[in-house]
Amino acid sequence: MEIIDNHTHLNDEPFRGNEQYYLERAKALDVTKVICAGQDPDFNQRAVDLAQKFDNVYAMVGYCPDVAKDYDQQAEDKLIEQLKQPKVVAMGEIGLDYYWDESPRDVQRNVFARQIEVAHDLKMPVDIHTRDAFGDCYNILKNSNLEYGAVLHSFNGGVDWLNKFLDLNVYFSYSGVVSFTKATEVHESAKAAPLDRILVETDAPYLTPKPYRGHQNETGYVRYVAEAIAKLKDIPLEKVADATYKNTVRVYGLKSKEF
């Protein structure tokens, strides 16, 4: 059995200098490959560097909503350069965040749409952060060309939003939230989501799943996310692991990148 953590921040401060240790801990939990998510210039470069350093680490790069206000032509040129690097598999994380509102909302929307265009031009999928912004996110995606794939990272919507986004042919990545006792909407959407549209992630060091909630998250704990989905769907863990592995390979085009 092999599990892929398709969205983690191994490039974040808690892991710096100890990446090998956490990758070995992950392997002991059958987590054999990880995709390290960028979000700003520092995180993007760090993700690229880690992908070059470790065989089982891949990267995505992008400007998240918090730093959308800093996106300009120079930033875009650098992103394009990074997206062309070996083992960079997606534009991400990008999207909308109306909870923190670190960038003006119109700027967030414009930068989100622009980055989707850039990714499409490079024939790459996008990894999407959306918080308190499902309506605008849906409208932007509906009016975008998603030919090369899209993943809703740490999806926390209910069944209604699941069905709307399914019409756009996107994938749904579940995080540790799916294991939380009170996350009933997420439980229902995970149960309803087609198995061939589900991915799993940690978003480490955030959103630690049960049984380690309250502690720092790490990439190996994606196993417990897969276990939570298996329990909700009443199917074996191995079936979730196999499906999410294949889905991750498919949406990120990983076969063509010698995954």
Give tens-digit pLDDT for 232-252: 999 999 999 999 999 999 999
Asked if residue 259 has pLDDT above 60, the reply is: no
Q: How far is CA 11 from CA 15, 22, 159, 199, in A?
A: 7, 12, 32, 21
Q: How confident is the model at residue 255 (pLDDT cuts 50, 70, 90)?
A: low
Q: How confident is the model at residue 253 (pLDDT cuts 50, 70, 90)?
A: confident
Given this model, what pLDDT does residue 257 score?
Answer: 54
pLDDT digits (tens, 9 = 90+) for 67-90: 999 999 999 999 999 999 999 999
In the chain the domains, ranked by start, together with CATH numbers, are 3-257 (3.20.20.140)
Asked if residue 179 has pLDDT above 60, the reply is: yes
pTM of the model: 0.97
Given this model, what pLDDT does residue 62 score?
Answer: 99
Do residues 189 and 158 touch, judged by C-beta distance below 8 A? Answer: yes
Given this model, what pLDDT does residue 169 score?
Answer: 86
Q: How confident is the model at residue 111 (pLDDT cuts 50, 70, 90)?
A: very high
Rounded Cα gap, residues 50 and 19, in angstroms: 9
Average pLDDT over residues 54-63: 98
Given this model, what pLDDT does residue 256 score?
Answer: 52
Asked if residue 254 has pLDDT above 90, the reply is: no
pLDDT digits (tens, 9 = 90+) for 116-145: 999 999 999 999 999 999 999 999 999 999
